[in-house]
Chain A
Amino acid sequence: MIAALKNRLARMDRIAILAVPALVYMIAIFAIPVAGLLLRSFSGPDGFTLAGYVSFLGDAFNWRVIGNTLRVAAITTLICLAIGYPTAVALSRARGFVQVALLVAIILPLSVGVVVKAFAWQIVLRRDGIVANILVGLGVWDTPQLLLFTETGLVVGAANLFLPFMILPIYSVLKLVDPNIQDAAATLGASPVYRFFKVALPLAMPGIVSGSSIVFSLAVSMYVIPSLLIGDRFQTLATLVGRSFLLMRNEQLGAVTASVLLALALAIVAFSSWAVRRKGDSR
């Protein structure tokens, strides 16, 4: 008995050892430097200081940057949700060729580089680009307007980039939902509107929450898309981090900005895992 227990213990340890190399690597190369960056944002000439944060948060410009970041991320997430949810529904109902075509349309862009996509949107959103021509042709605009370097253009590019990250999590939940549930609700006299809000939407909620949190956190920290589609006039936290390190060489400001961005990203992760768990408990 004791020998068997010892044997089990030995075996458990042997398996746990397999995780050690990856853990050591990630702690040394990833966790310690990130902690170091956080520490740096609190360090001044004479030790611990909040001066970096005080001056960062005291500057109205930085509040505008935080506002820009959150607003663009929120609008992008809402658009992705509004068009991603119906697409996920279509994907879960599609069969055969249509399903494969939809999957290719969703997965292929996922694996094409962000620089490539941003470059393509630069062409599409120009004053003489396709979108401007179509809108003039439809009579929406009298004269072609520039969409590039506007917030609208930025949101279009960001939504395009992150949409698959909204569709796939919702699809993976919808796929598991028994289609008979809808019919059962209908048989019991639920109206279509009632069924959507009280049956379909709650069932899809875990996918919606995880998709939204992925898109939101990606949109909060995107860097290439804003630099190519809107330029320097419009700063987000991520572009500000890049500027302070790569252009201004102001490491203190960069460390503080990076820590603010990191805190935002972690808050999103924490909130979404809390929301998913709460959803799980209430079932």
Chain B
Amino acid sequence: MTLAERSATAVVWTIAGAVTVFLLTPLVVTVIVSFGSSAIFTLPPPGWSMRWYERLANLRGLSSALAVSFQVGLLATAASLLLGGMASIALARGRFAGRETILAFLTSPLMLPGLVLGIALLQGMRFAGLRDVWTSLVIAHVIITMPYVVRTLYSALTLFDFSLVDAARTLGCSYPAAIGRVLLPNLAPAFVTSGIFAFLASMDNYAISIFFTNAWTKTLPIQMLNYVEEQPDPTIAAISSLLIGLVLVLLLICERVVGLRRLAEI
């Protein structure tokens, strides 16, 4: 290696190291603050304490917001796995005109400003006379989760060898049995990863949810932003740390099911 190449390699690894630190900074800070005894986020903390976690139990509005976010996230993810899964099969297998356009359309909410979508959806639902917060949230969140599901399932389906289904049928499987025993197990990783990403996107959504929540029904990000704005104390860091823990567990599941390397390809 020449000197220029060696210094280029050194620069690349230095930047990669710095980027790793930079990316993990907010997560590390959050976890440290949540275990610190200081109420004003002193870093490094003067002492350690679990009191912010103890306060979580009787924090007003937290458990209901968590419940709303979980329910809405699960329902929206399930709905888009069903609708998006069917559409992906049609797009990957069908030979009809306009497939590219339909694919672009189904994944387009990802590229549009969330706030604009939220306003449009709000006005649409007002026009339709739908006032129930919970139902509106679920309906709106399907728009958030759909692009993740369609994008991942479609690319997995285009790589799937459909002659395997034909082979199973030749060997005596009925068509539904062939789908259930051959196609679905093969696509399970794609279902799991797209489902997890869709669920996390729904759990994290602020820009669309803000238009559908009221004083009584709030999703987690909105409730948390309220805490940050009203009475910032490390309790928020404690919630956040628990969420980071949850995501770590989900990522470990992904790693077991599909491997992180494939996750990065999505």
- Mark A residues whose CB is within 8 Å of B: 12, 15-19, 21-23, 25-26, 29-34, 36-37, 40, 83-84, 86-87, 89-91, 93, 99-109, 111-124, 126, 128-130, 160, 163-164, 167-168, 171-172, 191-193, 196, 214, 217, 220-221, 223-224, 228, 238, 241-242, 245-246, 254-255, 258, 261-262, 265-266, 268-269
The reply to whether B12 and A23 form a contact with Cβ atoms under 8 Å apart is: no
B184 within 8 A of A: no
Q: Residue B188 at the A interface, CB < 8 A?
A: no
Asked if A83 and B146 sit within 8 Å, CB to CB, the answer is: no
Whether B90 contacts A15 by the Cβ 8 Å rule is yes
Tell me the interface secondary structure of chain A in the complex: helix
- Interface: B105 (CB within 8 A): yes
Classify the interface of chain B: helix, strand, loop or mixed. Answer: helix
Closest CB in chain B relative to A8 CB, distance in Å: 9
Of B54-62, B166-174, B206-214, the stretch lying at the interface with chain A is: B206-214
* Inter-chain contact B221/A113, CB cutoff 8 Å: yes
Give min CB distance, A122 to chain B, whole Å.
Answer: 8
Contact A102–B16 (Cβ < 8 Å): yes
Kindly identify which residue among B111, B117, B142, B237 contacts A34, using a CB–CB cutoff of 8 Å.
Answer: B117
Supposing A119-B228, A120-B27, A124-B25 touch, asked if A26 and B8 sit within 8 A by C-beta, the answer is no
24 contacts between A and B (CB under 8 A): A15-B89, A15-B93, A15-B94, A16-B94, A19-B91, A29-B143, A37-B123, A83-B22, A100-B260, A103-B264, A105-B20, A105-B24, A109-B27, A113-B224, A113-B240, A114-B221, A115-B221, A120-B30, A160-B23, A160-B25, A192-B8, A238-B207, A241-B116, A265-B113
Q: Report chain B residues within 8 Å CB of A16.
A: 90, 94, 96
B contact residues vs A (CB 8 Å cutoff)? 2, 4-5, 8, 11-13, 15-16, 18-20, 22-27, 29-30, 33, 41-43, 83-84, 86-87, 89-91, 93-96, 102, 105-106, 108-109, 111-117, 119-121, 123-125, 127, 139-140, 142-143, 146, 150, 197, 200, 203-204, 206-207, 210-211, 220-221, 224-225, 228, 232, 236-237, 240, 243-244, 247-248, 250-251, 260-261, 263-265
Q: A172 with B264: in contact, given A160-B26, A265-B111 (CB under 8 Å)?
A: yes
Within the complex, the shortest CB–CB distance from B156 to chain A, in Å, comes to: 15
Q: How far is the CB of B75 from chain A (nearest CB, A)?
A: 14
Contact B113–A111 (Cβ < 8 Å) = no
Contact A25 B16, beta carbon cutoff 8 Å: no
Given A34-B120, A258-B120, 12 new contacts (CB under 8 A): A36-B120, A101-B20, A102-B16, A105-B19, A105-B20, A109-B24, A115-B225, A119-B224, A124-B29, A220-B113, A224-B206, A258-B116
Query: Which residues of B have CB within 8 Å of A115?
Result: 206, 221, 224-225, 228
Q: A16-B96, A22-B83, A33-B120 are in contact. Are A241 and B260 (CB under 8 A)?
A: no
Candidates B19, B119, B243; contact of A163 at CB < 8 Å: B19
A197 to B243, CA, bound (A): 43
Q: Which of B111, B142, B200, B232 is packed against the most chain A CB atoms within 10 Å?
A: B111
* From A86, A116, A129, A160, contact of B16 by CB (8 A): A86
- Note all chain B residues with C-beta closer than 8 A to A86: 11-12, 15-16, 19
Contact residue among B13, B15, B119, B244 (Cβ-Cβ distance under 8 Å from A37): B119
Instruction: Tell whether, in the assembled complex, residue A18 and residue B87 are in contact, meaning their CB atoms are under 8 Å apart.
Output: yes
- Residues on the B chain within 8 Å of A117, using CB: 26
Q: How far is the CB of B162 from chain A (nearest CB, A)?
A: 11
CB of B33 within 8 A of CB of A245, answer no
Closest to A86 in B: B15
